[in-house]
Amino acid sequence: DIQMTQSPSSLSASVGDRVTITCQASQDISNYLNWYQQKPGKAPKLLIYDASNLETGVPSRFSGSGSGTDFTFTISSLQPEDIATYYCQQYDNLRLFTFGPGTKVDIK
């Protein structure tokens, strides 16, 4: 099985700060990596697909990069509405998926 790790597990930042979350796969997954946002009591929402593609309708302050085993998710200017837990998710050619453990983001 492919294992996913995320860091940090939580962070606190000020409005307007640049926030970076990293996700690492236990083996090469090419760009088969998605990022989701989950607000408390809500279903997850797709933000980034295939490592770096912004989902339609998602604000441009969100971005993703990376390939192989190391990936980065960035919020260029943190907004109050971005308070949420963020998950990376890998997939393979067999349509087997794994979520990372999540990163909880809140406002300092």
Partner 1 sequence: EVQLVQSGAEVKKPGESLKISCKGSGYSFTSYWIGWVRQMPGKGLEWMGIIYPGDSDTRYSPSFQGQVTISADKSISTAYLQWSSLKASDTAMYYCAATATASFDIWGQGTMVTVSS
- Rounded-to-integer distance, Cα 5 and Cα 38, Å: 17
Which of positions 15-44 make contact with partner 1 (CB under 8 A)? 32, 34, 36, 38, 43-44
Among the listed ranges 16-24, 59-67, 72-80, 98-106, the one in contact with partner 1 (CB under 8 A) is: 98-106
- Rounded-to-integer distance, Cα 78 and Cα 95, Å: 33
Of 50, 59, 79, 107, which lies in the binding site for partner 1, with binding defined by CB under 8 A? 50
Q: What is the phi/psi pair of residue 61, to 5°?
A: -70, -15
Nearer to partner 1, 36 or 71 (CB): 36
Of 5, 59, 97, 107, which lies in the binding site for partner 1, with binding defined by CB under 8 A? 97
**Which of 91, 93, 104 is CA-nearest to residue 51?**
91
